[in-house]
Structure formats: C-alpha cells, structure tokens
Amino acid sequence: MTRQHRVTIAYVFKTIVWPRRKLLFVGLILITVNRLTGFVLPSVSTYLLDEVLSNRNIKLLKVLLAVAAAAISVQAISSVVLTNLLSVEAQRVISILRARVQRHILMLPMKFFDDNNSGSLVARVMTDVEGVRNIIGTGVVQLVGGAISIVISFFFLVSISPLLTGCILVPIAIFWAISLKTFAFIRPIYQERSRVNAEVTSRLAETFKGVRVIKGFNAESHEIKTFERGVEQIFQNVKRSLMSVSLVTGSSVFLLQLATVGIMGLGAYLIVDNQLTVGQLIAFALYLGFIITPISQMSSIGTQLTESFAGLDRTEELLNLKTEYENEKGTTPIGTIKGDVVFDNVTFEYEPGKPILDMVSFRAEAGTITALVGSSGSGKTTIAGLVASFYKPVRGSITIDQLDLSSITPGSYRNQLGVVLQDDFLFDGTIRENILFSNRNASSIELTNAIKAARVSEFSERFQHGLDTVIGERGVKLSGGQRQRIAIARAILADPRILILDEVTSNLDSESENLIKESMTELMKGRTTFVIAHRLSTIRMAHQILVIEQGAVAEKGTHEELIELRGRYFELYTYQCKI
Ligand SMILES: Nc1ncnc2c1ncn2[C@@H]1O[C@H](COP(=O)(O)OP(=O)(O)OP(=O)(O)O)[C@@H](O)[C@H]1O
C-alpha cells in the first residue's frame, strides 16, 4: 500500500469511521451475533445424526428444533437490523459527501473549471464517494463477519479432526494466493475503467448538447464512430477483468470440490476406522462452507476497499484545493458599492509565462458605460473576467471604490454584479424560473417590472402558458433574441451595481434588434457597465471606448474623439460602416 493510501486511511478513519464509532460498535455486536447464530445449524445437525437418529431420542429432537428455530430467527432479525443500520448510514454519508464535494467544487476558482471537463467533475461528485459503502456499509459487515466466521469455523474444524483440517488448508492457501495475484492485476483495470467511463459519458453528453452542429455538418457518422470506439474501450476493459474474475471463481469452485472429494475419501476412511462419526463428517463439511465463502468474498472486498480508498483519495485531494474564499487576502466583505472601477497597470496570464493582458490601465466611473472593442482574441473577454473577479491580476491592481478587489470576499462583491453573456446560461425550466434565478426573493411587482423593462412580456404573453412556458434545454424552444431578453430581465431583477454585457453578434431582425436595444438601455441605466460591443448603436452610447489590441489598450476616448484620431478605431468603424 502506498504512503498516499495510508494518509487516506487515517483521513477516512478520522472523518468517516470515528464520528460513527457508536453505530459501528453496535454494528459489530450485531455482526458477531449474526455469525454466531449461523453456527447453530451445523452443530444441531451433528446431534441430529449422532444422537437423535442413532438413539431415537424424540425429546432431544424437539429441543434441537426449538434451538434451530430460535437461531434462524435471531440471524434473520440481526441481518435486517444490520442492513438498516449500516447500509442506510453509508448511503447517508454518501449523500452528505456528494453535497460537500459539489459545494466545494462550485466555490473553486474559475481556473479549475478551465482545466477540468464537466463530465469528469460529475464523476467526482457522484462516483468517487460511493466507496464509503464499502467502508461503513455492507463491505465492513462482510469483512468483519467473514473474519469471525473463519476463526470460529477453524476452531470447530480442528476440534472435529485436525487431520482433515490440515488437508483443506492446502487448497485454501492456493486459492488465497491466486486471488491476491488476480486482484492486484485487476486493480489498475478498474481504475482505467472509471477514467474511460467518465470520458465516454461526457463526450456523449456533449454530442446530445451539440446535436444541432452535428446534424448541421452531417457529422453523425463521426460521432457514431467516436462513441463506438469509446464503448469498445469499455468492453475490452470489462472483458479483461471478467476473464480474471472468472479465473478466481473457477479456481474457487475447483479447489472447493477438490477439498470436498479429499474430505469424502479421508472422512469415509476415518469413519470406517471409527475415528469419526457420520454426524461429525457432515458438520465438518458444513463448517468448511463457513470458511470458503468468506475467504472468496474477502479477497474481492480487499479490491473494493482499495478502489474505495482510491476514490476517496481523489475526493480528499479535491476538498484540499483552496476555494475562492480561502484566499488569505480576500477576506473583507464589501457593503453596497458605488461602482467606481480602476485598472492600474494590470498584467494577466492564464498560463504562467504567457501574458494575455499587458499593463492595462483605465478608469470606469460609477454609472458610466465602457465599451470594449478590438479584434478577436485581443483580450476583451479577459478584461470582463477580471472585472467579475473570476481571475486575479498577476501584477497591478483592480480597485472598486478605491478598495483592492483581491482583498474583498468574492461573494459580497458578486452580489452586486450582473452578467449577460452571448451564449447565456438558460436551464431547462420555465421563463419565470430562469428570470427569478438571479433573485429568488423578488416580489411579483419586481418581476413584472423586470419583464416589462426587458421586453419579455411582448413574447411571453403570446405563449399559452405565459411565464410558465417551459423553454427546453438551454432555451432551445426560444429564438436568439428572446433568449437574450430573458437574460436581460434576469440581470435587471438582480439590480447589480456593476454590469458585464457581451453583446450577441448574430444578426437579429430590426424589430428584435430594437427590442434588445431598448431593454439593454433600461438595464444599463445608472450602472457601471462594461460591454463587449458589436453594435455601433451601443458603442455610440458609451461614455468611453477602450480599443484593445494584443492585450493592451491601444486607444481610449469617446466615439467622436476616436474618429478624430483616425487610428485603429476609425479603421474598425469605417470597416463596419462599409458592410
Ligand atoms: N481560459 C483560458 N485559458 C487559456 N487561455 C485563454 C483562456 N481564455 C482565453 N484565452 C486566450 O486569451 C486570449 C484573449 O482571449 P479573450 O477571450 O479575452 O479575447 P476576446 O478579445 O474576448 O476575443 P473575441 O472577441 O474573439 O471573443 C486569446 O488568445 C485566448 O486564446
């Protein structure tokens, strides 16, 4: 076992096992009672054959039947209570852990989401924590229960016949060795399986999400082939592990039968030689079952436990990542802001050594509109991301009302921030739910005002179910302009002090264009707005225009000033006017 695993065992013990020590102690007592009562039946059979049948002792038969009935009942009851106690608790812990991991992931910085695909994150929340089941659920019952059964059975076997016991130890040792080898071989196969599964699942989800592009480019056959390759990989992986598992199962059956034949032969000889009774031989065979079954179970539980620890290891690693709220600097909550934003020589890089923004400086006064224009990839979205505190500058500073943004707790700041992005996030729910998403406590008057201001009512009223119309995944049942207006209504309802807008580039008909312009104007009123602008009408409304080129502010000023300058903005403007 690696050092990493030892750390995890200590972690698992401290955080999962120890807080439930009372429950696990009750569980252990129940397991012991359960396994002990299991031994009553084989003991009864010895007496049945050797005493009741041989001496025709009906009185003893009645006692034996009563004892057997009591034992079976206790066994059944303890088994039900055990399952309810431990398995239910394991599932409770799984739910708690899942919620904790999801909460932690959501609080991680944006960089984490840039580096991890959503499919693998889903697996980390849903699958990685499932191993808990093996640690406090059925796994531990089988492990501890199995150990108890083996020790007690071994004691009974030796007491019946040391010679016969010696004979069965050889095949058991062989079986144990085969199992250990096989499971060591299977372990990496299982690890690979969870990785491949996550990959194939997330690609499949993307295929369905991007079905419009796929059909549009007639690329179904490519997606089909990619998926076929994925399922083939899973199949090959499962095939390899199945072959190994069948080797273990096959050898266990073979060795068990070999031991049975040996015992039959040697046992019969001992009976003839009066060293053993028929009842004892039958009891011996029954006790043997109590050893073989847990041994085969325990070797596979060993693998499951290793898998569980590997999963929990990944969970622990994730939970140890610092959230945005654990930044030593960003600890001051901020009250209501005016919205004065200053970039002072801000340099930023996504990857170390590859600067994307270089010494960017500007001031956006509270309540003004700043338009970001410039060629594709110049860094406009990056500037917007920095204003939203999704990323931190590598050098230089960003201040909000003269307070350093990196010293402010992200939540208290983003409470006062609104974003309307090009490909805005709408989820599969009703129009109402999608708008209320930004402010669940909004009154119906506030909602109505937002809907009116964003010109949503103009289309929602035409729908049969109005605001309660379900819009499909990512709003597919709406037009692009309608989706934008919902996103704008959502931002109006949030009533932010600072607003980030990424204008849609897609061509809308002039009616939609006008409606969006009106709703945007409503939204921007009195808020410090940063707009990645594509429409001249928006740009002309701006109090200042920043022309961004190759990560730097190339020009700064109002529309008139920049036109007069006859520089980069003039080029962009005249180019757009031509088309
Ligand atoms: N998450 C990221 N990780 C690494 N590099 C990134 C990331 N996001 C953007 N970049 C890079 O940063 C540069 C600036 O990108 P940005 O999105 O800010 O440009 P933009 O001006 O908004 O472009 P567009 O107008 O095309 O949207 C690009 O070269 C891009 O490849």
Residue located nearest, by CA, to atom 28 of ligand 1: 377
- The total number of residues shown for the chain amounts to 579
Q: How far apart are the first and last CA of the chain?
A: 68
Mean of pLDDT values over 403-408: 90
How many A from CA of 422 to the centre of ligand 1? 14
DSSP-derived secondary structure letter, 408: B
Q: Is 402 exposed, middle or buried (0-12, 13-18, 19+ CB in 10 A)?
A: exposed
Please check the confidence at residue 248 and state whether its pLDDT lies above 70.
yes
pTM above 0.90, yes or no: no
Which ligand 1 atom sits nearest the alpha carbon of residue 551? 14
Is 503 marked active-site?
yes
- Reference 520, options 506, 508, 507, 502; nearest CA is 502
| Separation CA 469–CA 86 (nearest Å) | 44
Please check the confidence at residue 576 and state whether its pLDDT lies above 70.
no
Ligand 1 neighbourhood includes 382 CB (under 6 angstroms): yes
The ipTM (two decimal places) reads 0.96
Ligand 1 neighbourhood includes 145 CB (under 6 angstroms): no
Instruction: For residue 142, name the pLDDT band (cuts at 50, 70, 90).
Output: confident
| Separation CA 222–CA 214 (nearest Å) | 9
How many A from CA of 382 to the centre of ligand 1? 6
At residue 535's C-alpha, the angle toward residues 532 and 540, to 5°, is: 90
332-528-110-519 Cα dihedral, nearest 10 degrees: 140
Best mean pLDDT range from 48-57, 123-132, 555-564: 555-564
At residue 262's C-alpha, the angle toward residues 284 and 259, to 5°, is: 70
Ligand 1 neighbourhood includes 422 CB (under 6 angstroms): no
Q: Which of 347, 356, 550 to mutate to test the pocket of ligand 1 (most atoms within 8 A of CB)?
A: 356
Q: Which of 375, 376, 381 to mutate to test the pocket of ligand 1 (most atoms within 8 A of CB)?
A: 381
| Separation CA 208–CA 350 (nearest Å) | 30
The tens digit of pLDDT for each residue in 469-496 reads: 888 766 777 887 888 888 888 888 988 9
**CB-based contact 189:309 (threshold 8 Å):** no
In sequence order, the β-bridge partners of residue 342 are 363, 399
**CB-based contact 193:123 (threshold 8 Å):** no
How many A from CA of 398 to the centre of ligand 1? 19
Ligand 1 neighbourhood includes 423 CB (under 6 angstroms): no
